[in-house]
Amino acid sequence: MRKASELVEEVKFQKKGSSYSLIHLPRELKVIGTGRSAWAFKVKNENKVIKLFFPFFDHLAQKEGEVYEKLSHSVTFPEIYEVGPNYIVMEYIKGKTFYQCLTTGVRIPTKAIEEVEKGLAFARSKGLNPSDIHLHNLILTQEKEVRIIDVVRYTQKKTCYQWRDLARAYRYFYQKSYFPKKFPKWFLEAIAYLYKYCKRLSQYRNNKELK
């Protein structure tokens, strides 16, 4: 395989408003994830992923690389192989995100929730503050083990309650035998929207009371 730095040089984006579109991709790479600050590319024929950050967010590559280094002794997080000026090269995890499990009906076992909590506890023991934990960055592997990705926000100071709320929803609803295990995407997106709206509303009220 060519060096990651060479492959990254050939990836070309075009900015459209506040988002980016891909206009050129070397044949060795395949798009596997898109986000607000970066896209992820699987290196064909290798168990590696290149996460490439957009120009305004390229400083996050070093930041996320440092977080992965701190988490390198935990099997819950992928290995990090290289950190460049605007990209990181990491282990490819084969499996389904929790979001994909919910849209395809793959059952998420109780053990998976426990593994997430152990992984987050390990991160805290390293002085990190796990944040922005959602259905898209939790992966259930083919061996029914859990891997956690997208750790760039683990250095922020404010408390994030997303995982606490997800775990509560799992225990209060999902694990009940009568509760559905498969949902359409529109339903999950609607729940996510309502969750964010309620959080913003609660924060607005709290700020208003402090004035």
Catalytically active residues are: 132
38-43 and 95-97 beta bridge pairing: unpaired
Amino acid at position 182, single letter: K
Closest residue by Cα to residue 4 from 38, 29, 23: 29
Sign of CA dihedral 63, 150, 20, 40: positive
**Distance between CA 120 and CA 117 in Å, rounded?**
5
DSSP state of 45: T
- What is the number of alpha carbons within 13 Å of residue 153 lying toward its C-beta? 14
Residue with tokens 């280094």: 69
User: Residue 147, SS3?
Assistant: strand
**Distance between CA 43 and CA 76 in Å, rounded?**
21
